[in-house]
Amino acid sequence: MIKEASDRYGTGIVARGILKHYDSSYPARLACAKLTDLCEEGESENDFLIRFALSHPGLTCVLAGTKNIDHLRRNVLIAGKGRLPAEVYEEAKRRLTFAGAVPGPVEMAWQDAIR
């Protein structure tokens, strides 16, 4: 979806946190992916997901929500660590897809409307 939007319109969209508010099964699916097994020492799941988003080859910008100034500082610090190693990114993507937390190719109503 991101690549299609980028190729066709020069834009793309990624949603992560918003899914937690609208899909009550999201936290369980995220837990099923066991991303904490892939985290570096001292890295939280949220830290990992920021770096996961930064690692997507089709993204040029990640907007991470913050609760307060300390949370913002943490997000900037984590983003400064850069992308995940390629093999870690691929394993996380595999786990998230298997758990249903990151869908594979999905036809959505809006996609039909732009074809």
In a domain, 110, yes or no: no
Sequence-distant (6+) residues with CB within 8 A of 33 are 92, 95, 96, 98, 99, 101
Give a yes or no: residue 113 inside a domain: no
Which pTM was predicted? 0.73
In a domain, 114, yes or no: no
Q: In which residue are the tokens 């949220």 written?
A: 46
- SS3 annotation, 35-70: HHHCCCCCCCHHHHHHHHHHHCCCCCCCCCCCCCHH
21-74 pLDDT tens trace: 567 777 888 888 999 999 999 999 989 999 998 898 877 777 777 889 999 999
Domain assignment present for residue 56? The answer is: yes
- Is the residue at 96 inside a domain? yes
Helix (H) or strand (E) run with residue 83 in it:
none
Q: Dihedral sign, CA of 90, 105, 26, 100? A: negative
Q: Note whether residue 108 is domain-resident.
A: no
Residue whose entry in the numeric block shows the structure tokens 């939280």? 44
What is the pLDDT averaged over residues 81-102?
A: 90
* Residue 87 in domain: yes
Does residue 28 form part of some domain? yes
Q: Provide the domain count of the chain.
A: 1
Domain that holds residue 28: 2-101
